[in-house]
Structure 1
Amino acid sequence: MKKTLCTALTLVPLVGSLALVGCGTSEHSEQESFAFTGSELWVTHGNKNQPVNVVESTDAHDEVTVNVSSRTMGQKPETPAWSLSDDELTLDTPCGGSVIGYCEANWSITVPDGVEVMVDGQRTAP
């Protein structure tokens, strides 16, 4: 019984990794701009493991631009959900809830010069 259990525990990760063989890496990006005239932007982020980069721009007059780039393997990237309401920008992950596979994403937010940005309560320096 012990040998059967050990064999089964060895085969499960092997079968999972074989499922990914032949799966190529998929890259996807989305971008959207929102009208914004505030002096502070509060960002709520759905996945703390995905970095958020904040960039100030003299060209970004009265708007905030959100860009997400994702890379997946063994799963399909989802269209990220984001929204801006007053001074709060909500970002949701473009990575699905699949157990098998790999997904990473990088967020970039471009704001007008002088806008202070807080990501999950932490002040960021552009």
Structure 2
Amino acid sequence: MFPSPGPRRSVALVVAVAATALGLTGCSVDASQQKPESKSFRYAGTALKLTTHEVATDLVAADRKDIKVTRWFDAAAGSEHLTWTLKGDTLDIDAGCSGIAFCDAKFRVEVPRGIAVLKDGRKTGLTGKK
């Protein structure tokens, strides 16, 4: 008797189909080449918790009274998920793809001078001098 092809053959088929699909869509993505989108949030607190979901994020102390978030995003394949919300003292930002996907993202977050920022649960040096 011959062994059945089993799950290995199925996995190989899925990989082959995925590689073909990605080859057709192209895999070159570069967020820095995309037109940025911005959103501002009113904020009167003295400390901010920033959750980035491991997306590249530049933090900047700025002469402003609100929080400004700028996002660059590029995707070649996959299901996009884009988030930027402020609830209480937590700013949640995320940009990525799921499934068989290629995407790139980066953020810039400008906060008013004097606000202490925790990024992904860790203290940052960003407090800015008033």
TM-score, L = length of structure 2:
0.72
The Cα shift of 1:18 comes to: 0.6
Q: Secondary structure at the match of 1:37?
A: coil
- 1:77 — aligned with what? 80
Percent identical residues:
24
**Which of structures 1 and 2 has the bigger CA Rg?**
2
User: Can you list the C-alpha shifts for 1:7-56, whole angstroms capped at 9, x where unaligned?
Assistant: 554343222111111214465543101112322111233x2x31222111
Q: Secondary structure at the match of 1:110?
A: strand
Say which structure is richer in strand.
2
Q: Secondary structure at the match of 1:102?
A: strand
Check if 1:51 corresponds to 2:53: no
Q: How far apart in 1 are the matches of 2:91 and 2:117?
A: 10
Q: Which ranges in structure 2 are unaligned for 5 or more consecutive residues?
A: none
User: Can you list the C-alpha shifts for 1:47-68, whole angstroms capped at 9, x where unaligned?
Assistant: 2x3122211112xx21100122
Q: How far apart in 2 are the matches of 1:84 and 1:52?
A: 16
- 2:19 — aligned with what? 17
Residue of structure 2 aligned with 1:42, choices 21, 44, 49? 49
Residues 113 and 15 of structure 1: CA distance in aligned 2, closer, same or farther (over 3 Å) = same
The Cα shift of 1:76 comes to: 5.1
Amino acid at match of 2:96: C
Q: How far apart in 1 are the matches of 2:39 and 2:115?
A: 18
Name which structure has the greater RCO, CA cutoff 8 Å, separation 6+: 1
Q: How far apart in 1 are the matches of 2:60 and 2:37?
A: 17
Q: How many pairs align?
A: 119
Q: Which ranges in structure 1 are unaligned for 5 or more consecutive residues?
A: none
The Cα shift of 1:90 comes to: 2.1
